[in-house]
Structure 1
């Protein structure tokens, strides 16, 4: 016997401002507080408005990413020890003792 699953949908029609989840004024206030753009779109009529808002969001995120400085590359422990050894070690490479190697 197959088990039925129930899916809940929230559908709002244009012109039903009294049952909106987020009022226009609330969205505008939030966009001002967070310094972001505000788009009011209806996906019920057409998904074009939602697509335009999403693409604008991507363009803004890319523009902001270009303004941020590139993250500094972390040095590996070997590189750090090599730099410290160069600074505090002996200047002459010929004076350094070589580590013994073992051939098998």
Structure 2
């Protein structure tokens, strides 16, 4: 039987450094739940009210996640436009990894 662990972290911020702040909040919540190591996949969603800012933000967020996890995990991105957010930006990170007992 294949089993694994899924951990979710999310962050929201606004202002000039909203991309960095939202990402750091999401990563902090991830690390509080479990170790950020042995990750197989990273599902990354960025939600904001304007798509152009999302495209710019994704490359930054992607690099931060890759650098923080120090793994060769797959990053699967998604972008959501939500007009009601105003200047806020949300980052949701879902990581999957193998359960040590299943190896």
- Give the structure-1-normalised TM-score: 0.26
TM-score with structure 2 length normalisation?
A: 0.26
Structure having the higher strand fraction is: 2
> Higher helix proportion, which one?
1
Greater RCO structure (CA 8 Å; 6+ sep): 2
- Rg comparison, structure with higher value: 1
